[in-house]
Amino acid sequence: MELNQQFKTFLTEIRPTQSQKEGWIVGATTLRTRLNADPDLTKITVSTFLQGSIRRSTAIRPIGDKRPDVDVVVVTTIDYNTTTPEQAMDKFVPFLERHYAGKWRRQGRSFGIELSYVDIDLVITALPSEVTSDQAVTALYKSESVQNIQTLEEQPTWRLNKSWTAAKGDGLYPVMAIAQDAPEQDWKPHPLMLPDRDAGRWGRTHPLAQIQWTAAKNRDCNGHYVNLVKALKCWRQTNARMLPKYPKGYPLEHMIGQALANGTGSMGTGVVQVLEEMRDRWTPEVAMGRVPVLDDHGVPEHNVLQRLSFEDFEAFHKAISDAAAQARKALDAGDPSESGMLWQGLFGAKFPLPSPQGGDRPPGFTKPSGPADPQLTPRFA
């Protein structure tokens, strides 16, 4: 059975809490405000914006004492042709020492900032040299579309378009929604440059392409895509001891997006479809002893699964196959209690069981047990 109400409750239980949301808003907003006010960094800063699973609405509630993890991107005009990754990151050290002394650390391609209520990844990037003076590209990065702090779930009308604004209005004169993303030729060929301190070189990254692709896919799936990612992240979290360490995080999200068919009508059907597709699509890859190649949305030369070993992929595929079989049984079960137990076995205790008379009604016409016996009440007599 679909158990739509149970899936709705389940998603409420695995989303980040309101307190966690407030934490990342405060942490990210404070950091961005400080960056925009810094007298040295403002000379090279074009824009700051949120990326990652929080921005894409694919984050789930951290377990235990773990904190939410939010990514803040700084777009700069640093000349990556003459500046090493180390030199580029050094430009931000005085700022971090002033505002986050004892709370920050260098990472390979970012700075980690650890606060009591949120962990922040500060990602330094540079505009590609061919667009540093392109007003259309810089206008997009400075627009509300990019700098808006709300998630894709909170802004279903969002489009990657410099003319987009968050829904406002008094009901009589609402702001008209922008129906389309900006033409891809205006932004997609221009990924940002990312300093890789460990490798000693700059590489390409395109967070806007990932956000735009996610928003479009979610619309094509009737709003179910980001929820299916959350559900399967929860499945992975619940069954972590039985699963390989990888894939997780964005690679898992990307795999789900590649397998999920457009037009998804419900969570239950979507879970079954995506698990069965992941099983069937990658069975030949397992048989040939290789990991599939999945191109990043904005930087096609990047294989999202490049670091995934075949051993981990094979074990993950086996787990996906087992999960697909259980999800199919849960969907096909005609009894709500049986269906609920199967779904709960897949997702854990946060998936609620239906009441004895609960669950979705089976499709089709139910034959009445006897003739109708209308009873008139005084009101309608």
Residues annotated as catalytic are 69, 71, 121
* Nearest one of 280, 222, 218 to 253, comparing CA atoms: 218
Report the Cα 378 to chain-centroid distance in Å.
56
Phi, psi angle pair for 121, to nearest 5°: -100, 115
Q: Is the dihedral of CA 215, 219, 221, 225 positive or negative?
A: positive
Q: Which residue has the tokens 């650890």?
A: 114
- Tell me the three state secondary structure of residue 337: helix
Q: What gap in Å lies between CA 20 and CA 325, rounded to an integer?
A: 35
Phi, psi angle pair for 315, to nearest 5°: -65, -40
Q: Are the beta carbons of 92 and 41 closer than 8 angstroms?
A: yes
Q: What gap in Å lies between CA 108 and CA 200, rounded to an integer?
A: 10
- The token pair at 160 is 């990657």
Q: Which residue has the tokens 């987009």?
A: 164
Going from the C-alpha of 238 to that of each of 22, 213, 231, the distances in angstroms are 25, 27, 10
Q: What gap in Å lies between CA 319 and CA 272, rounded to an integer?
A: 14
Secondary structure letter of residue 119 according to DSSP: E
Q: What gap in Å lies between CA 381 and CA 372, rounded to an integer?
A: 17
